[in-house]
Amino acid sequence: MKITSPDMLARALKEARSRNGLTQKDVAAQVGIKQATVSAFENHPEKSRVETLFKLMAALGLELHVAERESGQSEQSWDQEW
């Protein structure tokens, strides 16, 4: 899945949580954070810490892959995605 904004990232993690039948409280307990932190990430990901992202990904069994942009994609189009 190509993620191009903080909101898309939050939506993807929330969907993964729902697919696994987990509540925000369940995920928070697995990685030692507060339920409010999970909620804040899902609703305002742009204000969240990278550490929180990795904790949530660990709880959901997800991993991050970083790839170079496609060669035909301009800087301007990349900025517009954000």
Give the tens place of pLDDT for each residue, 43-78: 999 999 999 999 999 999 999 999 888 776 655 555
The reply to whether 69 falls in a domain is: no
Q: Does residue 49 sit within a domain?
A: yes
Q: Report the alpha-carbon angle 55-6-26, nearest 5.
A: 35
What is the dihedral angle through the alpha carbons of 32, 52, 56, 70, rounded to the nearest 10 degrees?
-160
Give domain status of residue 67, yes or no. Answer: no
* pTM, two decimal places: 0.81
Q: How many domains does the chain have?
A: 1
CA distance 77 to 30: 38
> Structural domain of residue 27, as residue ranges?
6-62
CATH code (residue 52): 1.10.260.40
**pLDDT band for position 2 (cuts 50, 70, 90):** confident
Is 78 contained in some domain? no
Residue 45: inside a domain: yes
> Is 50 a member of any domain?
yes
